[in-house]
Structure 1
Amino acid sequence: MKPKATPRIAVVGAGPAGLMCARVLQRHGIDVTVYDADASADARDAGGTLDLHADSGQIALEDAGLMDAFTALARPEGQAKLRLDQHGAVLDSFVPGPDDDAAPEIDRGQLRAMLAAHVAPGTVRWGHKLLAAEPLGGGVHRLAFEGGGHTEADLVVGADGAWSRVRPLVSDAVPYYSGVCLLEVRFDDVDRRHPGIARLVGDGHVFANNGDGQAIIAQRNSSGHIRAYIGMRTAHDWHTAAGVALDDGAAVRDFLLAEFGGWDARLLPFLTDADHGYVNRPLYALPAPLAWEHTPGVTLVGDAAHLMSPFGGNGANLALLDAAELARAVAEEPTLDAAVARYEEVMFARSGPLAVGAGQGLERFFTTGSHAPDHAAEHQRYKEAAAAYRRDRGAPVTEAA
């Protein structure tokens, strides 16, 4: 039997996970409020592109009733992969078949905007930066926001990413530096302005690696954009040690050209020709596998729960599935406590091995260069796992929103 009182549910973070949780809760007729520090869904650059897997991200989209909206934006051709060594020699390539929809790409910003457009008006309280979360007893928590605002909730869902302010309520785990730093660069109107880069990247991704701690990873985004990530196994403060100011583009270029000496000339424009400067992105991860003792009135989804290396592409997919499964549990279980316990048991068992594997993949890629999955087999596994998931849990929610 459902509790008579309407539970007060607060989701902290309006990224894809937080918005997905709100969307699925609302499809089940459950009220929810989402709080986010950003001024709007498009207030900042949301980042590059994501491949949404058939057995995780796409399952969540089905629960949200948003597969058609996703398909209208997704790029199945973006699943293509090309792998090179530092001399430009082709090591491996993958071109998806015409009916391959196992892991289509979508820009992060497009995904966030799509989800934000499909929650009830007023669901998201933009401009609400969480400062502290305080337990009041009985599973109730008080949230305090910058500027003096506050609220109380019967369930707080931490969807607030790597540096979650909700996480300390359940765990003292903090992210650690992985030993790998990425410099993000962007290229606009690539087919006209950067044709060499456009040809190398094609419709999908290119991975170039010297097997000794250096790599270039580039991905086609929508609207003629390409993002690239110049990877280095290095100290966290590499730029300080090198005397390089990150906002000094010429100094960064000179540093990179020296570090990547001997790389093929076709790959050097990724280091030198960016249109918007360099963004330093050290890679962090949470200890894995990570779990915590059940805490009434609070739980975590996505990076707040299991921040991991991007290798394997599981982070965003798990975040979406976490959010949808938590929402389903809240709708189906008699109490919030039972819902959270059900969700966490499944989430811990799923995310732990994948987080460990993501860390191992990162290590292999930046030490030996040997991280080249069989993408055709991988896609087949996604489809088979999706079919098994649906059989095990029954059909997803499909009624019109």
Structure 2
Amino acid sequence: MTIAIVGAGLGGLALARVLHMHGMGSVVYEREPSRGARGQGGMLDLHAGTGQRALREAGLIGRFHAIARGEGQDLRLLEPDGTLLLQEDTPDDAPLERPEVDRADLRELLLDSLPDHTVRWGHALDHADHGRLHFAGGGSATYDLLVGADGADSKVRPLLTDARPAHTGQNVVELGIPDIDRTHPDLAAMVGRGNYWVLGNGQSLSAQRNGDGRVRVYLSFRTAEDWFATSGIPFDDPAAARARLTDLFAGWDPRFTALIAACDDTIQPRAITALPVGLTWPSTPGVTLLGDAAHLMPPVGQGANMALLDGALLGLALAAHPGDFPTAVKEYEREMFARTSAAGRRSAHVQEILMSPDAGRRMLAFFQPDGA
């Protein structure tokens, strides 16, 4: 019986790995032409009870610890005038509760754990019928169980629900400073080893240290969905775009705008969308979803963890009910709906804090609810 997984992201690969461990084959169809065809984004913090649990079920926790960055748990939280609200520096012997890992390194770890033939590269799904996949440019494949692990714009989701992601009121611009320790040691010292957040009135600046020496800088704005088109920022002219973005942070401590000025020409605007919190669908024989395809959330630390655990738990359910896909899928979906609904509510709450007028103080209270 053929298990087809659409999407070679973290969740889809975790599912394929757990199935492989239990002697069950799968085929992963991925639109990218090869494993190194596209950058995979920045760092992820993998939580002990979710993302790390998934890797433990996949037999990969030891290899994960070898590439995880415990110091990435460091946090600095500031206000726009430069006031330091919180600084947490991780001791060398601290437990790895939420270590950072480069998304690309984690994906490579998962890919390396699978037989070479598992992922079929260059297979972009055009649409799916019950029982058959149709690929862009021609070609098709049959399946007995289809798992949509194909992200926010899932081509599998329409088989189960009409729900589509909606704009959350937040737009983000990603920039970056390469080799920051060599090129801007003063800014490197300011950002530190982990995450650096400056929260203002409806907008924020955050910086994240990556394992390759690059610092990714994220500028977030509480704006309308069409803001990228109406803002007048020339994103096709990096120098002019940086200057215009710097203007939007007028009045902020000059150390923060210096981060923007130091960035290179890689500028990526991203509209933040989400699926309705608590989305469910009637269990349908032969089809299910995981990760962003099932429960797209604001990017505040839950999405990748949920996707990994989705994949691991679906794999375990299928292994527990060999040959009985409907029972396994119902069992998986029942747990997944409850778990990810709670995570979605938490994510929406954190995003509301980040976009609020007193975001810095509210986030401080979120991190230190006991006033410590």
TM-score of the two chains, using structure 1 as the length reference: 0.88
Report 1:226-241 matches (<5 A). 226-241=215-230
Displacement, 1:310? 1.7
Alignment correspondent of 1:328? 316
3-state DSSP class of the match of 2:255?
coil
Alignment correspondent of 1:385? none
Alignment correspondent of 1:39? 33
Q: How many angstroms apart in 2 are the aligned matches of 1:105 and 1:276? A: 25
Does the CA contact (< 8 Å) of 2:172 and 2:270 recur in 1?
yes
Q: 1:363 to 1:66 in 2, by over 3 A?
A: same
Alignment correspondent of 1:383? none
Alignment correspondent of 1:251? 240
Alignment correspondent of 1:171? 161
Aligned-partner residue type, residue 323 of structure 1: G
Q: How many angstroms apart in 2 are the aligned matches of 1:93 and 1:100? A: 18
Match of 2:137 among 123, 129, 147: 147
Q: Does 2:65 correspond to 1:71? A: yes
Match of 1:117 among 112, 130, 137: 112
For residues 50-102 of structure 1, the C-alpha deviation after alignment (integer angstroms, 9 at most, x for no partner) is 01111011111011111111111100110010000001110112122323211
Displacement, 1:196? 2.6
Report 1:2-401 matches (<5 A). 7-97=1-91, 98-135=93-130, 141-210=131-200, 212-311=201-300, 313-334=301-322, 335-367=324-356, 368-369=358-359, 370-372=362-364
Q: How many angstroms apart in 2 are the aligned matches of 1:342 and 1:373? A: 37
Q: How many angstroms apart in 2 are the aligned matches of 1:197 and 1:16? A: 32
Structure 2: stretches of 5+ with no match in the other structure? none
Deviating 4+ runs (over 4 angstroms): 373-378
How many equivalent pairs are there?
365
Q: 1:74 to 1:37 in 2, by over 3 A?
A: same
Does the CA contact (< 8 Å) of 2:85 and 2:364 recur in 1?
no
Q: 1:45 to 1:377 in 2, by over 3 A?
A: farther
Displacement, 1:375? 5.3
Does the CA contact (< 8 Å) of 2:195 and 2:209 recur in 1?
yes
3-state DSSP class of the match of 1:192?
helix
Question: Which deviates more from structure 2 when the two are superposed, residues 97-106 or residues 32-41?
Answer: 97-106
Displacement, 1:189? 0.9
3-state DSSP class of the match of 2:59?
coil
TM-score of the two chains, using structure 2 as the length reference: 0.95
Structure 1: stretches of 5+ with no match in the other structure? 1-6, 136-140, 379-401
3-state DSSP class of the match of 1:292?
coil
Q: 1:104 to 1:375 in 2, by over 3 A?
A: farther
Displacement, 1:373? 6.2
3-state DSSP class of the match of 2:239?
helix
Aligned-partner residue type, residue 337 of structure 1: P
Q: How many angstroms apart in 1 are the aligned matches of 2:96 and 2:369? A: 13
Q: Compute the RMSD of aligned alpha carbons.
A: 1.5
Q: How many angstroms apart in 2 are the aligned matches of 1:58 and 1:376? A: 24
Alignment correspondent of 1:388? none
Displacement, 1:282? 1.2
Q: 1:236 to 1:197 in 2, by over 3 A?
A: farther
3-state DSSP class of the match of 2:310?
helix
Displacement, 1:376? 8.3
Aligned-partner residue type, residue 100 of structure 1: P
> What is the percentage of aligned positions where both structures have the same residue?
44
Displacement, 1:159? 0.4
Q: How many angstroms apart in 1 are the aligned matches of 2:187 and 2:293? A: 35
Displacement, 1:371? 2.3
Question: Which deviates more from structure 2 when the two are superposed, residues 123-132 or residues 232-241?
Answer: 232-241
